[in-house]
Structure 1
Amino acid sequence: MLTRKQMQLLEFIRQRVDRDGIPPSFDEMKAALDLRSKSGIHRLITALEERGFIRRLAHRARAIEIVKIPEAMERGFVPKVIEGDRANLPSGAMPVTPDALDVPVMGKIAAGIPIEAIQNVTHHVAVPGSMISGQGQHYALTVEGDSMIEAGINDGDTVIIRQQSVAENGEIVVALIEGHEATLKRFRRKGGMISLEAANPAYETRILPESKVKVQGRLVGLIRNY
Structure 2
Amino acid sequence: MKEPTPRQQEVLHFITSFTELNSCPPTVRETAEHFSISVKAVQDHFTALRKKGYIAPSEGRSRSLKVLIDDPEFKKPYRVPVLGTVAAGLPIFCAENYDGSVYVPASLIRKDGDYFALYVSGDSMINAGILDGDLALIRRQENASNGSIVVAFIEEDEKVTLKRFFKEPARIRLQAENEAYGPIYCQNVRILGILSNIIRNY
TM-score (norm. length: structure 1):
0.57
**1:110-169 superposed Cα distances (whole Å, 9 cap, x missing partner):** 000111133211111111111112312100000000000000000000000000100000
Pick the aligned partner of 1:109 from 73, 86, 97. 86
Q: Which residue of 2 aligns with 1:76?
A: none
Pick the aligned partner of 1:178 from 155, 173, 178. 155
C-alpha root-mean-square deviation of aligned residues, in Å? Answer: 2.2
Runs of at least 5 residues in structure 1 that lack an aligned partner in the other structure: 1-79, 92-96
**CA–CA distance in structure 2, aligned partners of residues 150 and 201 of structure 1:** 9
Q: Which residue of 1 aligns with 2:21?
A: 81
1:134-173 → structure 2 map (5 Å cutoff): 134-173=111-150
Residue type of the partner of 1:213?
A: V
Other structure's SS at 1:217 match: strand
Of structures 1 and 2, the larger Rg is shown by 1
**CA–CA distance in structure 1, aligned partners of residues 75 and 189 of structure 2:** 38
Other structure's SS at 2:21 match: strand
Other structure's SS at 1:81 match: helix
User: Percent identity at matched positions?
Assistant: 44
**CA–CA distance in structure 1, aligned partners of residues 174 and 163 of structure 2:** 5
**CA–CA distance in structure 1, aligned partners of residues 184 and 97 of structure 2:** 26
Runs of at least 5 residues in structure 2 that lack an aligned partner in the other structure: 1-19, 35-62, 64-73
Pick the aligned partner of 1:203 from 178, 181, 184. 181
**CA–CA distance in structure 2, aligned partners of residues 138 and 118 of structure 1:** 16
**1:196-218 superposed Cα distances (whole Å, 9 cap, x missing partner):** 00000000011111xx2110000
Kindly indicate whether the alpha-carbon contact (under 8 Å) linking 1:81 and 1:222 is maintained by their aligned counterparts in 2: no
Q: Which residue of 1 aligns with 2:40?
A: none
TM-score (norm. length: structure 2):
0.63
Residue type of the partner of 2:141?
A: Q
Q: Which residue of 2 aligns with 1:132?
A: 109
